[in-house]
């Protein structure tokens, strides 16, 4: 059974008199522990697809199944529970909580999950160290650079070791060294803990890490190929 099954997904937006095809009959099967990159120009449908799989955007038609459960049929409460316990998100806009420190932002999901304070501190400190933010745990987002905020967002997404990570341009504000470390960490989670990764990116260096590269254009999948990853 596929970890994720997308069948004939359609999502359209009205822009004046024009109809924008966010997703135009997209079908995909994604196995557990896959490491996949979505490529394509802005407006190709990459972010819309991630948001649909994560239950953040509704569909006009189509079916999304994660581990045998129809995501497109879930109510708000069930969707929230799915996102809390099974999916880690890395957004382009970071979505950090301004009044919380870097460590508190990373701990937030674990706190909602009910993980005890001592374990939250230990895990958040370790992950911040791994993404190169040791010594910055007490800084709030406004005191961090864009790249540092991105790393906090990545740490928050993966600290609870979800089954699925949906990442939208996770390396957009990272230098080459930070990008390399981040991809190594993603790969370690993927290979050791069987976490499935679906990463939207323009960065060829990120694409080189993927086992499978899916190219999109105008809301459609135009190429889907396996490749030899790094």
* Lowest mean pLDDT across 22-26, 55-59, 66-70, 128-132: 128-132
pTM above threshold 0.85: yes
Is residue 228 exposed (0-12), middle (13-18) or buried (19+ Cβ within 10 Å)?
Answer: exposed
CA distance 112 to 114: 5
Query: Would you give the end-to-end CA distance of the chain in angstroms?
Result: 26
Write out pLDDT tens, residues 134-162: 999 999 999 998 888 988 998 999 898 89
Instruction: Mention the CATH class of domain 4-225.
Output: alpha beta
* pLDDT exceeds 60 at position 108: yes
Distance of CA 83 to the CA centre of its chain: 11
Write out pLDDT tens, residues 41-97: 999 999 999 999 999 999 999 999 998 899 999 999 999 999 999 999 998 788 899
- Per-domain residue ranges of the chain: 4-225
Quote the crossing angle between the two packed helices 117-130 and 146-158, to the nearest 10°. 130
pLDDT band for position 2 (cuts 50, 70, 90): low
Category of 131 on φ-ψ map: left (φ > 0), alpha (ψ -120 to 50) or beta: alpha
CA distance 13 to 19: 6
């Amino acid at each position: 059974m596929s970890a994720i099954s997308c069948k004939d997904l359609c999502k359209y937006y009205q822009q004046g008199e024009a109809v924008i095809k966010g997703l135009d009959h997209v079908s995909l099967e994604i196995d557990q522990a896959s490491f996949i990159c979505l490529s394509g120009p802005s407006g190709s449908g990459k972010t819309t697809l991630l948001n649909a799989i994560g239950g953040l955007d509704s569909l006009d038609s189509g079916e999304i199944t994660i581990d045998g459960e129809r995501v497109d049929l879930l109510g708000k409460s069930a969707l929230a529970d799915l996102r809390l316990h099974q999916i880690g998100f890395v957004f382009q806009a970071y979505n950090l909580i301004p009044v919380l420190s870097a460590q508190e932002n990373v701990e937030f999901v674990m706190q909602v999950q009910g993980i005890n304070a001592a374990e939250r501190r230990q895990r958040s400190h370790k992950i911040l160290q791994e993404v190169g933010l040791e010594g910055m745990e007490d800084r709030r987002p406004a005191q961090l650079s864009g790249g540092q905020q991105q790393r906090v967002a990545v740490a928050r997404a993966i600290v609870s070791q979800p089954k699925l990570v949906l990442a939208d341009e996770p390396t957009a504000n990272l230098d080459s060294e930070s990008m390399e470390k981040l991809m190594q960490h993603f790969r370690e989670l993927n290979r050791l803990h069987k976490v499935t990764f679906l990463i939207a990116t323009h960065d060829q260096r990120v694409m080189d890490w993927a086992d499978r590269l899916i190219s999109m254009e105008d809301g459609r999948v135009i190429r889907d190929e396996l490749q030899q990853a790094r």
